[in-house]
Amino acid sequence: MADSSHGFSTRAIHAGQPPDAASGATVIPISVSSTFTQAAPGDHKGYEYARSGNPTRKALEECLAAIEGGERGLAFASGLAATTAVFQALLKPGDEVVAAADLYGGTFRLLDKVFKPWGLVTHYTDDASAAGFAKLVTPKTKMVWIETPTNPLLQILDIAAIAAVAKKAGAVLAVDNTFASPYLQQPLKLGADIVVHSTTKYLGGHSDAIGGAVVGANDLLAPVKFFQNAAGAVPGPFDSYLTLRGIKTLAVRMDRHSTNAAELADWLTKQPQVAKVYYPGLKDHPGRDVAAKQMKTFGGMISLQLHGGAAAARRFLTRTHLFSLAESLGGVESLVNHPATMTHASIPKAVREARGVDDGLIRLSVGIEDVADLRADLQHALG
């Protein structure tokens, strides 16, 4: 139906989704059955029990693989379920992970509170250059874990350069591609081994379904596939359908997220109340050149600091109307977030502040509303 010769949007709309063989339905049916009838023991049509496989989820998994340019996609019940599957299926107690210090608070909590007691050792680098990662690699390093752009400071990490470090160390490079989405950036093409997503964000795109994904080569993902069924954190058919539906419009949404965010980031730099703007598309962003090389556009996320620190941030956060004060990101509607008390509250205050995520930091997920309305909303909140 769609293959690797097709463009991104063609794959996003068609991959894994031929017309339904039974009815001709053009849109993939939401297949709710938890079990599948067999003609004789072992004689079935590819499905036995819906934790192991479900037709709607299979369509999503094929589509995820096609849009990330990987052999296999696996869908999970959440982004953190996908992350858990990668760590637990591919690593063992005593192994070491090198991760960038700036990363999603829930991933830090998972590594610190679940996998550290299990025996996994994670080293965090403040220097997110390839050399920074190389310094922390030891013979026990089995995985390098990065986000780019990072959450919440929007640092840009050079995927190809870090992939070279991981390869030399004999380690797997896993990239959480949630902030960029596969439309803007395809890490597997840049040398990464595994891509992870919170599909809750841009892929679903409408803030109405929690989900996660892992994409990579068949051989590497075989233990993750086994773990998916053995541990069972799979998405239900309706969430799989919503995610597939969201993916169809990913390209047009990302274009608009990016142009809106670029315009607002530039405008914010000119406001006297604003002390600092973090956006990879700004000329003075240290990662701009790498971002221009590895991303199609600079994405829809902006972070900022106001003069007046935490008190000014608190005032701003309660004065927006269109930007809802809410966790999450990547939906069509704009959101404003206070990382210190929301998305990154699970990182101890001292660690968080040492990493630059203090009580004054504000994160915006710029939606696809009319940019003039969004600008007016920010203007009011600053005023």
Ligand X SMILES: Cc1ncc(COP(=O)(O)O)c(C=O)c1O
Binding region for ligand X (CB under 6 A): 78-80, 104, 106-107, 147, 151, 176, 178-179, 198, 200, 210, 212, 343
Catalytic one among 95, 102, 158, 176? 176
Active-site annotation holds for 104: yes
Nearest-approach distance from CB 179 to ligand X, in angstroms: 6
**Cβ distance to ligand X smaller for residue 339 or 371:** 339
Look up residue 40 and give its amino acid.
A
Which residues are registered as beta bridge partners of 336? 325, 364
Hey, which bits of 95-181 come out as E strands?
Answer: 96-100, 121-125, 141-147, 172-176
**Cβ distance to ligand X smaller for residue 13 or 365:** 365
Nearest-approach distance from CB 144 to ligand X, in angstroms: 16
3-state secondary structure of 174: strand
Look up residue 130 and give its amino acid.
A
Return the sign of the alpha-carbon dihedral for residues 107, 109, 114, 118: positive
Hey, which bits of 199-329 come out as E strands?
Answer: 212-216, 274-278, 301-306, 324-325
Phi, psi of 196 (to 5 degrees): -120, 145
The CA distance from 136 to 232, in Å, is 34
Nearest-approach distance from CB 272 to ligand X, in angstroms: 31
| Token reading at 278 | 């973090």
Nearest-approach distance from CB 1 to ligand X, in angstroms: 28
Sheet holding 121-125, edge to edge: 72-76, 212-216, 194-198, 172-176, 141-147, 96-100, 121-125
Catalytic one among 51, 288, 314, 315? 51
Tell how strand 72-76 and strand 301-306 pair up: unpaired
Active-site annotation holds for 92: no
Nearest-approach distance from CB 44 to ligand X, in angstroms: 31
Active-site annotation holds for 49: no
Active-site annotation holds for 363: no
Catalytic one among 11, 57, 72, 201? 201
> Tokens 């093409």, residue?
189
**Cβ distance to ligand X smaller for residue 274 or 300:** 300
**Cβ distance to ligand X smaller for residue 2 or 203:** 203
Question: Among all residues, whose Cβ is closest to ligand X?
Answer: 79
**Cβ distance to ligand X smaller for residue 88 or 200:** 200
**Cβ distance to ligand X smaller for residue 50 or 80:** 80
| Token reading at 176 | 């959480």
Nearest-approach distance from CB 150 to ligand X, in angstroms: 8
> Catalytic amino acids?
51, 104, 176, 201
